[in-house]
Amino acid sequence: MAEPSSERETALLKVAVLRWGHRERDKRLTAHVALTARALGASGFFLADVKDKKVEATVKKMLKNWGGPFHFDMGEPWKQIVKNWKKEGGITVHLTAYGENIQTSDVLNRIKATGKDVLIIVGSRKVPGDFFKEGVSDFNVAVGNQPHSECSSLAVFLDRFFSGKELSTEFEEAEVKIIPQKRGKKMVKQ
């Protein structure tokens, strides 16, 4: 794919999230990372190295009710996912507090300028040092250089990457839809 010349072309890039690590106490947060990925424009989610039927059930239920498309896969080793992504011509972005600051550097512009599909890597526990290396991560990006949640860094990154346009996405085959309003809650079944 050629370098994106517009926000529309950026929106057409495939963006997926690879979640590495999944501790027992992280099950709910892993599900939230997947929900955030979908809601904010990612087309897929990989839960690397483990299989968790509860997370899978949460994602399937969300897709049934709120629509898609959204690809979910789990259990494949993270190295294989990264290798396959790069083999298909994509790039990898590792979200880490130690990376180039998304606000104070031009890293986001350089990522978009590649015109390539993006695999965003987020951890849950201390990631291997290999994640910082060029063979794994084409870009190490920080959403601020302070400790914070991988869910929050993913949300900020995706919102910046898609310039906020993902917030008005209409999902296909949704059974439930929220009707925005000034006060109260209104949902309709479709």
Q: Which CATH class is domain 7-189?
A: alpha beta
The domain segmentation of the chain, as residue ranges, is: 7-189
CB 22 within 8 A of CB 124: yes
Q: What is the mean pLDDT of residues 96-122?
A: 96
Considering the entire predicted model, what is its pTM?
0.90
pLDDT of res. 10: 56
pLDDT of res. 7: 58
CB 94 within 8 A of CB 137: yes
Instruction: Provide the pLDDT confidence category of residue 12 given band limits of 50, 70 and 90.
Output: low
Q: What is the mean pLDDT of residues 40-56?
A: 94
**Burial (0-12, 13-18, 19+ Cβ within 10 Å), 12:** exposed
- Both tokens of 178, joined, read 């929220």
Give the SS3 label for residue 190. Answer: coil
Give the SS3 label for residue 25. Answer: helix
* pLDDT at residue 5 greater than cutoff 50: no
pLDDT of res. 158: 97
Instruction: Provide the pLDDT confidence category of residue 123 given band limits of 50, 70 and 90.
Output: confident
The 10s digit of each residue's pLDDT in 25-38 is 677 889 999 999 99
At how many degrees (to 10) do helices 150-161 and 27-39 cross? 10
∠ CA 95-62-34, nearest 5°, is: 10
* pLDDT at residue 14 greater than cutoff 80: yes
Average pLDDT, the chain: 90
Cα–chain center distance at 170: 18
